[in-house]
Structure 1
Amino acid sequence: MTEPRDLLTRMFQAAVRAAQPEHCIPAFLPTPPKGRTIVIGAGKASAAMAQAFEKHWPGPLEGVIVTRYGYAVPCERLEILEAAHPVPDEAGEHAAQRLFDQVRDLTADDLVICLISGGGSSLLPVPGAGVTLADKQAINRALLKSGATIAEMNCVRRHLSGIKGGRLAAACAPARVINLLISDVPGDQPNDIASGPTVADPSTCADALDIVRRYGIALPAGARALLESGRGETLKPGDPLLARVETHLIATPQMALEAAADVARAAGITPVLLGDRIEGEARDVGKVLAGIALQVHAHGQPVPAPCVLLSGGETTVTVRGQGRGGRNVECLLSTAIALDGASNIYALAGDTDGVDGQEEIAGALITPDTLARAWMAGMPPRAHLDDNDGHGFFERLGDSLITGPTLTNVNDFRAILIL
């Protein structure tokens, strides 16, 4: 049989490969318009999406794309800009303005292709009225540490923005707008992918204020005034400015899980897909996943071994320690502690964009002897978990999963292999 770590790694690679723009873009090419074709976009996968679109597009095109530092790929006719993620910077603010400039004065004969993927929220930091870039940076940092879900964070971001929540699509009117989205959010709601710059948003300023109160986020005066006055309201479903907008999901977490399941079956392992939208505190999710694995191990339920438990979604970490994060390694360390060295159970958790938290590390792997090796190295596992230091823990053990930029992003991937 294939070595367990190798099998887990191949499943992760298959999940990432299934979401590569080169495989996804061609099926969604529209008919060329009478007028101009403008390509705009933002996200960790947007440059690779632009390259794939440019390669397969039969006619002239122009446009501007913004992606994360280190995620640019060469394009011949499209300009690729880079900016910061997960905390925005001035380069992102400048790039967002370039996108607005690109869609100015369009006609009904023109076509705008919007290539949007996860990470676009921080790559398009246009502050709303009365809000500064420094305000947005501080709010973003606070949200990232708060334990808020991605949907909650993006609701706040949309209502403090001058570009999200459909505002970029409105600037394209009366041109036809086609959104090609790679989803990195549980539930695949378009308004949550990069905070929905080119789609309608049913949430409200009041919703954003409720989230801020719930998590104790300190708002600068200008940001609070924007929400309390309602001036930060987004474009709603049915808005005439969005009448010519159509949206397609070209890659999703579910597609990635199914690709990993195919690898498992080919190896004679039964895949069990637990869900593509699992959320909650990373350490709590880790405990639950370990509990399911132990049930398989002890009782052959819900399926007998050999099997692999596959799941996706986006967990959260409420930061209380001084460690390096991130959510996938926190979840995995919690799983390891709950498994307590159970035999024949191996696991991998990683972010499909190659970056877990703020580290250039996708995630990590665990084996039945992970805890024993940690104790021998003088590394109390629970102390590392309490310090939110999953990356430090797995790096010292040599069990980090490092991929480099994957140029796509369909959120977290978790696989627990029971033999």
Structure 2
Amino acid sequence: MSQPTPTSSPSLSDPRALLRHLYDVAVQRALPLHNTAASLPAPPKGRTVVLGAGKAGGAMAQAVEALWPADAPLSGLVVTRYHHTPPRPEGLAQRIEVVEASHPVPDAAGLQAAQRILQLTEGLTADDLVLCLISGGGSALLTLPCDGLTLEDKQRINRQLLESGAHIGEMNTVRKHLSAIKGGRLAAACAPARVVTLTISDVPGDDVSVIASGPTVPDASTCAEALDILRRYGIEVPAAVRAQLESGALETPKPGDERLHGHAVELIATPQQSLEAAAEAARALGLNVVVLSDEIEGESREVGKVHGALARSTALGRSSFTTPCVILSGGETTVTVRPRVEGQARGRGGRAGEFCLGLAQALGGQAGVWALAADTDGIDGVEDNAGALVTPDTLARAGEKGLKLTDHLARNDAYGFFESIGDLVITGPTHTNVNDFRAVLVL
């Protein structure tokens, strides 16, 4: 599917189009082709091997192919999510293989891709360059279980982590220590070649050791921390793996590891840059802009309620924000999946949709407030929508259809709620990923 293109000259008279315009601007700012050239190293004396994983992997590979000198050797393998490989521009020769696998729960295709990527590090020399293309989603896509752990074990642990409410740092601490390729292990395998990592950040604070579980950077977290997280969320691992964690046998390469010496990491796109691009577009339309943060974490519904309280007080003239304004934020919230009631279908939806449910509940139909929350990769969780819209009449229209917002919150069914009132935001894969984008418009 084509990438979002910013709409032309939206106005305050069409809040829905205006919010979608801001989202599209944020996504455009994070597209790899716009951000890669300045960070590309010079071709080496030897080979250049491209390895990578993430939702933006296909687009990052195409950007490198378009910018790399035609007479310089280039080969490699990148894995991205199913249906996230962008159409190939006419005339652009393919020199980097792109394969697809499952996200957020890994599958056999991802396992095979990780095995092949590790194999491509064999025989590298000090004259060679490994160009690693890393973006959000790489943890699930680049799956290679440690000794004693099966793919089925990894799938179960991933599902339990996703449903536990654990934040991204906690999830990736576990993933690193249960992997044979993450947490700096891929870079260690590349020695003695030089490694340059180009990465698109999808994590609060742009911690490169967290993005895709940091396959090419040293890891300061420990086996003991991974064990503590597993205990805290009640997640079991096979006895043999637990023993390896307890003994430290699964420890990751640490800062100062000689195998990672001289490696470089370049952040080519970040959540803050996308928020700033959206803020600039909003100001051009005559709006006052408040950028809360690009590092907001917490339960999605609760974060939505906080945004709702800010917007409501602004609409009522009780805050320091001056209308008309737009409140922007990013980060990575979490959803704790509630136990399913027997006989009741499990709800559908992701972080952005659940944020919108919490926001709508807090607003209570407040006049003059519209909002959009969406994931910048175009997929909210595992559904086909990027997110959802909230309008002043969201609750009224839902009531006309017999929907109760509290019922949908209770079963984590944001998708069903917003689909019923026609307010899902559907973009298709955007071929980048700087995580959550939220815009609350107060007129």
Q: Which whole-Å deviations, capped at 9, do the CAs of 1:112-145 have from their partners, x for residues lacking one?
A: 1000000000001100111111110000000000
The residue aligned with 1:33 is: 44
Query: Any residues of structure 2 matched to 1:265-344 within 5 Å, and which?
Result: 265-299=283-317, 301-320=319-338, 321=340, 322-344=346-368
- Farther off after superposition, 67-76 or 334-343: 67-76
Check whether the contact 1:160–1:226 (CA below 8 A) recurs between aligned residues.
Answer: no
RMSD across aligned positions (CA): 1.0
1:29 CA drift (Å): 1.3
Correspondence for 1:47: 58
1:103, CA displacement in angstroms? 1.6
Equivalent residues of 1:175, 1:244 under 8 A apart: no
- Whole-Å Cα distance in 2 between the matches of residues 152 and 325 of structure 1? 22
Equivalent residue number for residue 5 of structure 2: none
Q: Deviations over 1:237-284 (max 9, x none)?
A: 000000021101110000110111011111101110000010001111
Report the counterpart of residue 68 of structure 1 in structure 2.
81
* 2:108 match: 90
1:22 equivalent in structure 2: 33
Corresponding letter in the other structure for 2:37: P
Query: Distance in 1 between the 2:46 and 2:157 partners?
Result: 41
SS at match of 2:380: coil
Answering whether residue 129 of structure 2 is matched by residue 117 of structure 1, we say: no
What amino acid sits opposite 1:223 in the alignment? V
Residues 16-415 of structure 1: pairs in structure 2 closer than 5 A = 16-58=27-69, 59-73=72-86, 74=88, 76-299=94-317, 301-320=319-338, 321=340, 322-415=346-439
Whole-Å separation in 2 of the counterparts to 1:221 and 1:143: 19
CA–CA distance in structure 2, aligned partners of residues 394 and 220 of structure 1:
40
Q: How many residues align?
A: 419
TM-score by length of 2: 0.93
* TM-superposed deviation, 1:102: 1.3
Deviation string, structure 1 residues 321-369 (Cα, Å, up to 9, x no partner): 4211211100111100110000000000000001111112100101000
Q: Relative to 1, partners in 2 of residues 1:223 and 1:396: Cα closer, same or farther, differing over 3 Å?
A: farther
Give the SS at the match of 1:227.
helix
Q: Supply the AA of the counterpart residue of 1:358.
A: V
Match of 2:8 in 1: none
* Contact 1:113/1:178 (8 A) holds in 2: yes
- Structure 1 position 300, deviation (Å): 5.1
SS at match of 1:187: helix
Q: Which residue of structure 1 lines up, in the alignment, with residue 6 of structure 2? A: none
- Over residues 130-166 of structure 1, what are the superposed CA-to-partner deviations in whole Å (9 max), with x where a residue is unaligned? 1111110000000000000011000000000000000
State how far apart, in whole Å, the 2-side matches of 1:49 and 1:202 are: 27
Gaps of 5+ in 1: none
Structure 1 residues 226 and 360 mapped into 2: Cα distance closer, same or farther (>3 Å)?
Answer: farther
In 2, are the aligned partners of 1:44 and 1:67 still within 8 Å (CA)? Answer: yes
Instruction: Report if aligned partners of 1:174, 1:244 keep a CA contact under 8 Å in 2.
Output: no
2:3 aligned residue:
none
DSSP-derived class of the 1:371 partner: helix
CA contact (8 A) 2:148 2:238 kept: no
Q: Deviation digits for residues 369-395 of structure 1, max 9, x if unmatched?
A: 000000110001111111100011001
User: What residue ranges of structure 2 are gaps of 5+ in the alignment?
Assistant: 1-10, 341-345
Which letter does structure 1 place at the counterpart of 2:16? R
CA distance in 1: counterparts of 2:395 and 2:313, whole angstroms: 20
Q: Which moved more, 1:71-80 or 1:382-391?
A: 71-80
Q: Once the two structures are superposed, what CA deviation does each residue of 1:184-210 show, in whole Å capped at 9, x if it has no partner?
A: 011110111000011000000001111
1:216 shift after superposition: 1.5
Counterparts of 1:88 and 1:227, CA distance in 2: 22
Give the letter aligned to residue 109 of structure 1.
D
Looking at structure 1, the residues matched to 283 and 437 of structure 2 have their Cα atoms a distance apart, in angstroms, of 17
Please state how far the C-alpha of 1:219 moved relative to its aligned partner. Answer: 2.1
Q: Distance in 1 between matches of 2:245 and 2:278?
A: 42
What SS does the aligned partner of 1:202 have? coil
Structure 1 outlier segments of 4+, above 4 Å: none
Give deviations 1:5-42, integer Å, cap 9, x for gaps.
00000000001000000101111111111111111100
Distance 2:165 2:347 in 1: 16
> How far apart are 1:97 and its partner, in Å?
1.0
Q: Report the alpha carbon displacement of residue 301 of structure 1 after superposing the two structures with TM.
A: 2.1
Q: CA contact under 8 A between 1:130 and 1:226: conserved in structure 2? A: no
- For 1:252 and 1:157, locate their aligned partners in 2 and report how far apart those are by CA, in whole Å: 23
